[in-house]
Structure 1
Amino acid sequence: MTTDLAALKAHNLARWQQAKLTRDFSVAVRRLAVRKPRYQAVSAQTGVPWYVIAVIHERESSQSWSASLAQGDPWDRVSIHVPAGRGPFKSWEDAAVDALVNCSPYPSRWKDWSIGGTLTLLEQYNGLGYAGRSVPSPYVWAGTDQYRSGKYVRDGVYDPAVVDRQLGCAGLLLAMKELDASIFPTIPSVPSVPPPSQATPTPRPSIAHPAKGSIGDLVAGLVRAVVLTFKRS
């Protein structure tokens, strides 16, 4: 069954707006932030935001620099897990570029780096099995109140009772955003209507200011005409 990515983006954005951290992310996000220049070097070659590369690295291999970004296998030998048959590579960076450019879901081709779009790309990176079950992906939401339990313990085998103990990508990004303003740069806000206290008040009808079209308005017009005639005479 094909997943509706537009609907998944909306679900992920709604979850982000409500999410609260339920675990301590501080140690992990500081460790990731320290290596920002290294992630930026890969970002420059792929177009994938550095913070997306960072959280994938944490999720796939707990930020091991000897493991490939694609699936956590050693990058200096041929990978055996999906995507299998990649490598060997000369460096972690070379393996990371290959994972982002040449491996599904091809993050370098992704164009929507809004919050909802980013979280949906990260969910695709792990697989859409959770979306097919209409449950939050632990790859994205573990460690937040949007996730309770449920995990694919091996290919095609889902256990609703298992709790994913790794930190999820959304929680990592939420915590990292507190450290670095370049994560999800501010989106221009929609201009709002000024509150009543700031709007120019409309005067209420009175003798001095009768409502347009009323008898008072007609009388006031006659008086103005008489006065104007008197002044000219």
Structure 2
Amino acid sequence: MVNLVALSASNAARFSQVKLTRAAEFTPVAQRLVSAAAKARYQAVAARTGVPWFVIAVIHERECSQSWRGSLAQGDPWDRKSVHVPAGRGPFSSWEDCAVDALVNCAPYAARWKDWSAGGTMTLLEQYNGLGYAAKGVASPYVWSGTDQYRSGKYVADHVYRADVVDHQLGCAGLIIAMAAIDTSVQFGAPAASNVVPIVRKTAQPVVPAHPASVPAPAAPSLTHPAAGSIGAWITSLFKRAA
């Protein structure tokens, strides 16, 4: 069984030193994900689940290339019953309702997650795809593809892992970095002391605490003065070290 505390520490270390190897590919995708129309829909789901909007965005990209006809859970059409795992979900009346169901009622139950720090966020995203890579002690391409933290290795079918296969789909970590370079509201939270699971009703609005991003900050971060511990601060530090 994978130790999630250790995995979060490992992912935090990876994120602190990650470099994009396919930066030119990340930028246009990030621009799509942070567009005003897309962001508004992600924020609507974030308000109902407590999951940060940019996390919802990168899951949407990984699961169905940001198709608004595809479910956040597995990419199946949301207006009919799903056939892939998690199977039997739906049909739903809207993409947003389907997304809430995926985050609240389907593993890894993202609406219950408490640690939205860099390491915690990467760990939740890794769980979304499965912990098979972590069990092998290798970087998950779902998170790290397109960065120097990933070279090869991919599950080509259920329980079938091939070390020589490369996942060419862009990973979540690089997508978040590219999004943060465009939109300064992409901010990690502080590490959580624990991941206590709140009560979640299965058929109605989830009972989850407000995400820290919903609480007004005393001063909005900017590109020149990013928030401490934020992705922007991390990017700024890279430029300072390179100067």
TM-score by length of 1: 0.79
C-alpha contact 1:122 1:140 (8 A) present in aligned 2: yes
* Alignment deviations for residues 173-223 of structure 1 (CA, whole Å, 9 cap, x no partner): 01111111221253469xxxxxxxxxxxxxxxxxxxxxxxxxxxxxxxxxx
Sequence identity, in percent?
69
Corresponding position of 1:143: 146
C-alpha contact 1:42 1:93 (8 A) present in aligned 2: yes
2:181 paired residue among 178, 183, 203: 178
Change (3 A) 1:84 1:142: same
Corresponding position of 1:18: 17
Matching of residue 29 in structure 1 with residue 26 in structure 2: no
Cα offset, 1:25, TM superposition: 0.3
Residue aligned with 1:153, SS = strand
* Alignment deviations for residues 135-157 of structure 1 (CA, whole Å, 9 cap, x no partner): 00000000001000000001000
Number of residues of Structure 1 aligned to a counterpart in Structure 2: 188
Cα offset, 1:92, TM superposition: 0.6
Corresponding position of 1:106: 109
Residue aligned with 1:178, SS = helix
1:59 paired residue among 39, 62, 72: 62
Tell me, in whole angstroms, the C-alpha distance in 2 between the residues paired with 1:64 and 1:188: 32
Change (3 A) 1:85 1:161: same
Greater CA deviation, 3-12 or 132-141?
3-12
Corresponding position of 1:201: none
Tell me, in whole angstroms, the C-alpha distance in 1 between the residues paired with 2:59 and 2:16: 21
Instruction: Give the gaps of 5 or more residues in structure 2.
Output: 189-226, 231-243
Tell me, in whole angstroms, the C-alpha distance in 2 between the residues paired with 1:183 and 1:4: 27
| Alignment of structure 1 residues 68-87 onto 2, 5 Å | 68-87=71-90
Corresponding position of 2:7: 8
Which structure ranks higher in relative contact order (CA pairs < 8 Å, sequence separation ≥ 6)? 2
Instruction: Give the gaps of 5 or more residues in structure 1.
Output: 190-233
